[in-house]
Amino acid sequence: MPLHDVSTTIEAVGIVVPARDEAAGIARCLRAVRIAVAEAGLPAAVCVVADRCRDETAEIAAGYADVVVNERPLTMGELRNTGVAALRGLPAGAWLLSTDADTVVPRTWVLDHLRYAHAGADVVAGMADLDDPTSLTPEVLGRYTRLLAVGGHAYAANLGVRAALFERIGGFPAVAVGEEHALLARARTAGGRVVHAADVRVRTSARTRGRAEGGLADLLRGLA
């Protein structure tokens, strides 16, 4: 049973997007988020955490979302927690979503997550499709595909968690890499129901030189 034994109803949505020097793509990301929020028809708050940016990421993002500017060397887990803490006015019955600045979500993204939340999921780990798989060699793409087939996927670019559980487990662990896997481990330890949903998908960059150490870009480069 989920930890929230009163109701599985979601009352609002909060979305966090860390971004470091993503001026070229942050508007595209946030426009897609805005459309997905409108489709869901729920109260929503979106926060971009501009992490030590040297470009106009924060200024561009401010046209679409609340922005927190960070100048400290925080881990990815801490950055995402900073964004959640900055979300204003969300009730305990909110659903928290995490994505990345180089990711574009489909218009059904929020609804896709809520379908599982309403069925009792406490955490939903969705899939991340590559936006340009042809930019990778067939060998690397094959290794990546086989890795996904193993199961147990988790991407911070497509992750949702019930707000009450998030608070109960203390949010993302302060780890430099793999914060999504660390969050899932905390959720399971606390008795949360974790769902790996292959039909909840986003499209993310196939670049092999990313902004965050240990992210998908590093994985793709390592597979080479």
> How many CB atoms neighbour CB 17 within 10 A?
27
Per-residue pLDDT in tens (0 to 9) along the chain, 224 residues: 344 444 578 999 999 999 999 999 999 999 999 999 999 999 999 999 999 999 999 999 999 999 999 999 999 999 999 999 999 889 889 999 999 999 999 999 999 999 999 999 999 999 988 765 555 566 655 555 555 555 567 889 999 999 999 999 999 999 988 899 999 999 999 999 999 999 999 998 755 455 555 555 555 544 45
Bridge partners (DSSP) of residue 159 are: 98, 125
**In sequence order, what are the residues at sequence separation of 6 or more whose Cβ sits closer than 8 angstroms to the Cβ of residue 130?**
136, 141, 144, 203, 204, 205, 206
Bridge partners (DSSP) of residue 196 are: 125
Q: Which DSSP helix (H) or strand (E) runs through 123? A: strand 123-130
**Three-state SS at 183:** helix
Bridge partners (DSSP) of residue 66 are: 47
As a three-state string, the secondary structure of 189-201 is: HCCCCEEEEEEEE
pLDDT of residue 223: 44
**In sequence order, what are the residues at sequence separation of 6 or more whose Cβ sits closer than 8 angstroms to the Cβ of residue 115?**
none
Rounded Cα distance, 133 and 186, in Å = 32
Calculate the CA 151 to chain-centre distance.
18
Q: Is beta strand 12-19 parallel, antiparallel or unpaired with respect to 159-162?
A: unpaired
pLDDT of residue 5: 45
CA count, 13 A, side-chain hemisphere, 170: 9
> How many CB atoms neighbour CB 128 within 10 A?
22
- Look at the domain 12-223 and name its fold: Spore Coat Polysaccharide Biosynthesis Protein SpsA; Chain A (3.90.550)
CA-based torsion, 50, 97, 191, 11: positive or negative? positive
Q: Where are the domains of the chain?
A: 12-223
Q: Which residue type occupies 87?
A: L
DSSP state of 2: -
pLDDT of residue 77: 95
